[in-house]
Structure 1
Amino acid sequence: MRIIISPAKKMKVDTDLMTSAQLPRFINESEQLLSVLQKLSYEELKALWKCNDAIAEQNMERICKMNVKANLTPAIYAYEGIQYQYMAAGVFQEEELAYLEQHLRILSGFYGMLRPLDGVTPYRLEMQGKLQGPGFSSLYHFWGSKLADQLQSESNCILNLASKEYSKNIIPFLSEETRFINCVFGQMINGKMVEKATRAKMARGEMVRYMAERKITDVQEIRNFDRLNFGFSEERSDESTFVFIQAEGK
């Protein structure tokens, strides 16, 4: 089984925490993208990132100085979004990290796909960002089937905890033999199930921690997930979609 999650926009550098285990598998592709980014003007980059001047200036400076093979932070510690806060990687034990290194994969517009201990440097490049370059019209086009092919070479069962922006670069390339399971984390509002982005991110992070703590290798076992007052909904789930409903008032 492989678990896929999204990256986060906010990143940090912490080269003292531990030594990066290895360079990302698609580091050559990252260098190609960096070359394209370095040729863009400030206004082009700001439009690509859809951000204010402060963020644009910070990330343009990063690009100018970027070395994707030096001063790296393990990916699982580098991202600081809500999902990663609830995952709480800083308190993982050695055995839990070993489990995640085998089973968890982080999708990325810049790095393609990362193992938790792959060394990364801060960047800003969402998968849906409108970046074009030699031979490609978008990042989805650039990565093509590479990420799905890599995943399927590792496992025929994929648990999707990633957002649609990232999972849509995997789904079209899956073979019939690959089992792909979506997790939905919802609340019942006026009799209808609603998935709220922030709570879903919290639950995804908690799910990763839950699986690491229990060293889960059979995807059926995640049906017992009960963090943040979520519970598995048998009637709303099927073989390809596991639905978890959060109790009211929580």
Structure 2
Amino acid sequence: MLLSPAKSLRADVDRQAGTCPAFRDKTTELVKALQKLDSKQIADLMRISPPLAAMNQQRFADWHWEAHTGLGQPAALLFDGPVYQGLDYGSLRARERQFANRRLRILSGLYGILRPGDLIQPYRLEMGSRFRVNSQSKDLYQFWGSDLQNAISNDLPGRSAVILNLASREYARAARLPELQGERAPELQVIEPHFLDRSRKGEYKMMTAYAKRARGLMARFVVSHRIQNPTDLQRFDLEGYRLDPAAGTPASPVFKRDHPIKA
């Protein structure tokens, strides 16, 4: 499974044991480049307010790799927002967390790719940021190159595998899923579900906040039921969603929620 990170972060995460992110050298190179920016440059790069820019400048200044070992803040607990509220990683049992750390990956502009239990520091850096890290890369997509694609490929349990893509387009692009699927066709299947809610006018449409939460809910559903057969995704029913077989395809299933929701 693939998820996007979150812009919003929790402030009350207890320090606990976790794992170390995979791309130490590239993350360090990226942070060193970001440390050269002043707060105005950060504000322009991230399109954020001066106070937020100053906070993130300080985060990069305080960044140190030792925070990623021993006791720290696991990514799936530090990230907040609808996706991670739906996932609710903190309420998972130990064996469910173990399953999540084997099967769930979070794509990240700063860290590249994360397991839910990887220890991270507070940061903000969207994958779509046009930040030139070095002379070989004009943006983060070029900087990460095929690294994320290769990491995902190495994590797949076998030649015949399924990727459940719950990430946004911005982040899924960095994973180069079409290229990965081409390399391993026809054994590799990529499933990208869609979540629609009924508006006050009775129309089904994608409502961003609800769809984000639904992605987290589906990740939780997979983890809590230890789903490995893609057909079992059809049973997803958390918070009122149901599969509409006629509205989608096996590779692009559509889940709808029938009760009216204010648009």
User: TM-score normalized by structure 2?
Assistant: 0.88
Deviations 1:159-178 (A, max 9, x none): 01111110112224323322
The corresponding residue for 1:86 is: 86
2:221 maps to 1:205: no
Deviation larger for 104-113 or 43-52: 43-52
Q: State which of 60, 64, 84 in structure 1 corresponds to 2:61.
A: 64
How many residue pairs end up in the alignment? 247
Q: Cα gap change, 1:87/1:175 in structure 2, threshold over 3 Å: closer, same or farther?
A: closer
Equivalent-residue separation in structure 2 for 1:160 and 1:33 (angstroms): 26
- 1:242 partnered with 2:240: no
The equivalences for 1:11-26 within 5 A come to: 11-12=9-10, 16-20=14-18, 22-26=19-23
Q: What is the CA deviation profile of residues 153-192 of structure 1, one whole-angstrom value per residue up to 9, with x for unaligned ones? A: 2223210111111011222432332211101001345575
After superposition, residues 172-191 of structure 1 pair within 5 angstroms as 172-176=178-182, 177=185, 178-189=188-199
Equivalent in 35, 38, 41 of residue 32 of structure 2: 35
Q: Tell whether the 8 Å contact from 1:149 to 1:173 is kept in structure 2 after alignment.
A: no
Instruction: Between 235-244 and 109-118, report the one with greater CA deviation.
Output: 235-244
Cα distance in 1 for residues equivalent to 2:146 and 2:24: 16
Find the residue that maps to 2:242 and give its secondary structure. Answer: strand
Q: Which residues of 2 match residues 102-113 of structure 1 at below 5 A? A: 102-113=102-113
1:16-58 CA-partner distances (Å, limit 9, x unpaired)? 44212x2111121110100110112221111111111111111
Counting only pairs closer than 5 Å after superposition, residues 143-222 of structure 1 correspond to structure 2 as 143-155=144-156, 156-170=161-175, 171-176=177-182, 177=185, 178-189=188-199, 193-222=204-233
How far, CA to CA, are the matches of 1:15 and 1:188 in structure 2? 35
CA RMSD of aligned residues (A): 1.7
Matched residue SS, 2:228: coil
Q: Which moved more, 1:66-75 or 1:46-55?
A: 66-75
Gaps of 5+ in 1: none
Contact 2:39–2:50 (Cα < 8 Å) also in 1: no
Contact 2:6 2:80 survives alignment (8 Å):
yes
CA contact (8 A) 2:83 2:214 kept: yes
Deviation digits for residues 89-148 of structure 1, max 9, x if unmatched?
Answer: 111101110110111000000000001111100111000011112111000111111111
Q: In the alignment, is the contact (CA less than 8 A) between 2:13 and 2:77 conserved in 1?
A: no
CA contact (8 A) 2:109 2:127 kept: yes
- Give 1:197's aligned amino acid: T
Tell me, which stretches of 5 or more residues in structure 2 are unaligned? none
1:233 matched residue in structure 2: 244
For 2:197, give the aligned amino acid.
Q
**Helix, strand or coil at the partner of 1:122:** coil
Percentage of pairs with the same residue: 30
Q: Please list the CA deviations of residues 75-100 of structure 1 after superposition, one character each: whole Å capped at 9, or x if unmatched.
A: 11110111111211111101110110
